[in-house]
Amino acid sequence: MTQIKSAPARSGARIMGIGAYRPARIVTNDEIAPLIDSSDEWIQQRTGIEKRRFASDDETLDEMARLAASDAISDAGLNPEQIGVVLVATLTNPVQFPAVAPIVASKLGIPDPGAFDIGAACAGFVYALSTAADMVKSGSVEYALVIGAERMTDVLDFTDRGSAFIFGDGAGAMVVGPADFNGFGPVIFGSDGSQADAISMSSTWFDFRSGKIPEPPTLRMAGQQVFRWAVSEMVAVTQRALTAAGLEPKDLAAFVPHQANNRITDAIVKALDFPDTVAIARDIRESGNTTAATVPLALHALRSEGRAPSGAPALLLGFGAGLTYAAQVVALP
Ligand code: UT7
């Protein structure tokens, strides 16, 4: 057998920096409710959402991604030229191709990086982060930039009672680089394509193009089905990620689940019996559900509150359309 040389593997990688971009415009529940015969009280009780941000025309997907990434690169103490690969988790790139990652990379001034998008919906950021960690550890790159960015307002139907009140826009980013310790536990991921209809587009672009439907397709969600799946399956997934990292709930400094619904977060926190010493991310109150951007935005918010000590272990969990999920223990940046 011919011997193929591999890159020298590294013993450790870690998250070196984190950044965020939140659109300027704050949208309250009262602004959303009249179109869907709802109320601020109902939305807060059923989800925990108090407000969310909606992007303006200038706050394009690549611009929000660029601003979050630039913040993360500075936080890591690096220059854009040092980044070897850019991964963007998103489901709201306004074009099917090219991917948004090379465009963001070019605008950041990163010369000739590997660049690609990851489509795993609300689990996308954790998928991308674990991929980046593996690339750094395998020696494929030295520094990887991971971005979760969404303009959910581009795919929302503001009159759909099942989804219009949930989603928001924004971007978060992290930089992964070499470390003299292991900053990532094993990733636990999976999917259930048999439930792909639970969160999907109302139709295909081809139906719109051929005139079969009068308006472009929008997001549709079978809320109860997704809720039941998340509550019944994500407890075990969270536990598996902890066990795989050799930790117990008391060892964690923070739990950063996808910000889909505070009641889903509550169910997981209760089932795993997290002690009060574990900071629980509740950014959904401020940002709603920003799909692939929730995990970095929620961690960024926790850190701004002084509740995410550098180097301490945190458990990240993403889940959503697909139905996809990914969970991983990481050392905080
Ligand atoms: O990010 C991807 C992952 N996404 C998720 O994990 C989302 C999971 N699902 C959910 O978070 C919840 O299912 C929703 C927040 C979407 C909905 O909450 P729910 O508690 O499942 O509501 P429901 O559909 O069971 O409806 C309960 C009641 C119904 O009234 P009755 O039959 O009890 O009288 C609905 O008609 O609430 C009513 N309702 C509403 N009322 C005011 C449903 N939607 C609304 C609304 N405003 N928007």
Burial 301-320 (b: 16+ CB within 10 A, else e): bbbeeeebeeeebbbbbbbb
Residue 77 confidence class, pLDDT cut points 50, 70, 90: very high
Please name which of 279, 238, 226 lies closest in space to residue 255, comparing C-alpha atoms: 279
Contacts of 305 (CB under 8 A, 6+ apart): none
Residue 313, pLDDT score: 98
| Mean pLDDT along residues 270-291 | 98
Whether 12-179 shares its CATH topology with 188-331 is answered: yes
Residue 10 confidence class, pLDDT cut points 50, 70, 90: very high
φ/ψ region of 287 (left if φ > 0, alpha if ψ in -120 to 50, else beta) reads: alpha
Structure tokens given for 229: 């799946």
Residue 80, pLDDT score: 98
Query: How many of the other CB atoms lie within 10 Å of CB of 250?
Result: 10
For the chain, what are the domain ranges?
A: 12-179, 188-331
Structure tokens given for 134: 């593996």
Residue 15, pLDDT score: 98
Residue 233, pLDDT score: 97
Q: Are 97 and 110 in contact (CB under 8 A)?
A: no
Query: Which class is 188-331 in CATH?
Result: alpha beta
| Mean pLDDT along residues 286-315 | 98
Ligand 1 atom closest to the Cα of residue 294 is 1
Residue 250, pLDDT score: 96
243: phi then psi, degrees, rounded to nearest 5: -60, -40
Over residues 221-251, the pLDDT tens digits come to 999 999 999 999 999 999 999 999 999 999 9
Residue with tokens 């060892």: 251
The span from the CA of 309 to the CA of 331, in Å, is 9
Structure tokens given for 7: 């890159």
Residue 139 confidence class, pLDDT cut points 50, 70, 90: very high
Ligand 1 pocket, residues with Cβ under 6 angstroms:
36, 38, 42, 46-47, 122, 161-162, 165, 199, 223-224, 226-227, 230, 260-261, 264, 289, 320
Query: How many of the other CB atoms lie within 10 Å of CB of 94?
Result: 11
Residue 254, pLDDT score: 98
Query: What is the CATH topology of the domain spanning 12-179?
Result: Peroxisomal Thiolase; Chain A, domain 1 (3.40.47)
- This prediction's pTM: 0.97
Residue 38, pLDDT score: 98
Q: How far is the CA of 200 from the centre of ligand 1 (A)?
A: 17
Over residues 29-42, the pLDDT tens digits come to 999 999 999 999 99
Return the active site residues.
122, 258, 289
The span from the CA of 319 to the CA of 219, in Å, is 16
Structure tokens given for 117: 């998008």
